Structures are given as C-alpha cells and as structure tokens.
Amino acid sequence: MEATAGSEALTSPGRFDRWILERVRSRRGVSELPHTLHYRDILVMPTRFGAWFGVLLALMVVGGLNFNNNMTLMLGFLLASIALLTALLAYRNLAGIDVHGISARPVFCGEEAVFRVLLRNGEDRARYAITACCDEDRDSADLGAQGTRALELRQQTGRRGWMEMEPFRVENRFPLGMFRAWSVVVPAARCLVYPAPASNPPPLPRTGRGEYGAARPGEGEHFHGLREYKPGDPLRQIAWRASARHEKLFSRQMENPSEEACELNWYLMGGGHNTEEKLAILAAWILRAERRQIPYSLEMPGAALPADLGEAHRDACLEILALFKQ
C-alpha cells in the first residue's frame, strides 16, 4: 500500500507539482524579485497527450522492428524527432522571462485576494501562451518582444490579517501541447485582509459634541458665499446683482449642514460581543460612515485616529482592525 501511494504521488500531476513546490520552497527559499527563470530552474515534463504520443511511438518502433518494416521505423523516428523539437521549443519559450513584481490590493475576509504577477520579456522574440498557475487558478497571456504583461492569480481568504501568497508555477505548453515546461516561484508577496463587515450592525454612534461644526460647501440649502461662475453651474445659483456690480458672472455657493462626527470606540461597545464580532461591527460602521459622508474617529487598544473622511482614512482604520491583536 505504501509503494502504491508513493507511485500515485509521482504519477498524479497535481501531487507531483505540490511535491516539487515543497522541495523548491525548502531548498531555494523565497524568490527575490525580479526573479529570472533560468534554464537550470526549468523542468520539462510530458503532458497526458505527450505521454500517449510516446506510447504510440514505442508501439510503432516495436512493430517496425518486429516486422522488419523500415518505413514504420522511419516514421517513428521522424515523429520522435518532432517530439524532441517541441520539448526544446517549450523550454526556450519559458527561459529568460522575468517575474518583475507582485502586488495585491486589500480585500475583506471571505473575498478572493487577487495577486497581480508582472511578467517581463527582455528579449527580442515573442513568448507564447505563458501561464501562471496557483492550485486550480491560472491565467495566460502572450508576451511580445520586450513586452510586459500582468497575470492575475486568486486565493481565497479565510481570516483577517496578512495572507501570504502561495508558491506558484510559470509554465507553457508551446507549441503542440506535448510537453510542459515549468518553473516554481516562491514569492514574498502578501495581501492585507480586512475583517468582514457585519451584515446587520447597530446604528452609527455619535459623539453628540458637534466637533465638525464647519459646514461642507456643495449643493445644499444654506448660503455659503460667492465664487466665479463655472460652465455647468445651474442658472438658479447665479448671483445676478453681484454679477452686474462686478461686470462678470458669480455663482452662489451653497452648503449642507454639518453632521456630528461618529466616535467608533472599542471601549464603548459593551461586553455582548466577542473580539471578531466587535471588529466586524466596526468595519461595517466605517463603511456606512463613508457612504453617508459622516466624519468618524477610531479608538482601539494601542491605536487611535482622529475624526476624518476619505479613502486614506478608511484604509488606515480598516488596517488597524485587520492587524488588531488583543
């Protein structure tokens, strides 16, 4: 039974690939970027089609020798030469490609992390059907001479915090699909995973202090001031008297009443939730405050951010939640 299991590990492509990945990870360590796919790092293996093609060639050669049929032997050797040539072409099609960089945008827990793998061809010849593979996910593209392409690999997230990118393969089966030339890359890339926002959070908390008393100019009900007319301003906002007095058009700038700032405070959330539930509620509050354009502050054990709005403030708050350790 042990011998059978060992043979299955080497004959099954998925298990064999994982075995190679683990050996490369332990022997070579992390691949520093940019990482060039050198000739010594590339493996060439027959595909299933290539294996059946080899069986057919063996039968042809055995039949030709058995029946002393020179034409069958010549055809067999010719097809074998073609097969060896395709293996060489697959090998050369992959060698010399650079894995130039890997990046990933933050995602929420439960979503797929998308790693963008930037491949660069530094030679004056095109590369065809270059594929990046990680487990069952794969993405392919052709690389023109001196060209650059980004391939996307996805990994499912299961918990918040930093998620390391798994080792992946860069491979191709050019030109006839009989041989697969591939190389292993062990990246140091990672993706930040935010806590998944609660689906039904409590209402937003307010400070009640009106800290953001300054009104935000825009289209509202209250007069804020005058500014020079801009094409596209509604006619009802043109200040005709001021325009006639200064002999050029002015528009009234309106404002919306300010909202009270939200105070997202870990210490004021009570004891009815565990740590992950609290983080999920805070993440939902941050997204809701951004949608409603209500300034919000965040206070956590060991970290605090003053009230603000915007993408940078949102990402900073969510990063604190993602990396929170109690």
Question: Where are the domains positioned within the chain?
Answer: 30-191, 195-211+261-326, 215-257
What's the rounded Cα separation, in Å, for the pair 165 and 146?
Answer: 27
Q: How confident is the model at residue 25 (pLDDT cuts 50, 70, 90)?
A: low
Q: How confident is the model at residue 310 (pLDDT cuts 50, 70, 90)?
A: very high
Maximum average pLDDT range among 68-72, 182-186, 200-204, 229-233: 182-186
What's the rounded Cα separation, in Å, for the pair 156 and 109?
Answer: 9
**Is a pLDDT exceeding 50 seen at residue 264?**
yes
Question: Given this model, what pLDDT does residue 40 score?
Answer: 85
Question: Given this model, what pLDDT does residue 209 score?
Answer: 42
Average pLDDT, the chain: 84
pTM beyond 0.85: no
What residue spans of 172-326 are helical by DSSP H? 240-246, 275-292, 311-322
Question: Given this model, what pLDDT does residue 213 score?
Answer: 33
Maximum average pLDDT range among 68-72, 167-171, 193-197: 193-197
CATH number of the domain at 30-191, please? 2.60.40
What's the rounded Cα separation, in Å, for the pair 176 and 246?
Answer: 77
Q: Tokens 């990672």, residue?
A: 190
Question: Given this model, what pLDDT does residue 4 score?
Answer: 38
Question: Given this model, what pLDDT does residue 205 score?
Answer: 85
